[in-house]
Amino acid sequence: MTDIEIDTRGETCPVPLVECRKALKKASEGDEVTILGTHPASKKEIPMACKALGLEIIGVEEKDEEWKIKIRR
């Protein structure tokens, strides 16, 4: 199992979602992908897109303006 971290802080939509999808394509079954960001809309869009693909959202954390989403492939 591999952990992949993508930092999209400061980027606006659709960059965080696009980078998340790229990382998930490279990830193997069981790998965890963590997306760091600041764009409010992406914080909602990424979990919705992942659920639609049947992926597991491990957690969503927020601190001030930043958020972190953990996904298991």
pTM, whole model, 2 decimals? 0.93
Contact by Cβ (8 Å): 62, 30 = no
d(CA 52, CA 50): 5
What is the pLDDT tens value at each position of the chain, 73 positions in all? 789 999 999 999 999 999 999 999 999 999 999 999 999 999 999 999 999 999 999 999 999 999 999 999 9
Which entry of 4, 6, 11, 13 is annotated as an active-site residue? 13
Can you list the domains of the chain with their CATH numbers? 3-72 (3.30.110.40)
Q: How far is CA 1 from CA 6, 22, 24, in A?
A: 16, 18, 13
Decide if 13 is catalytic: yes
User: Which amino acid is residue 6, in one-letter code?
Assistant: I
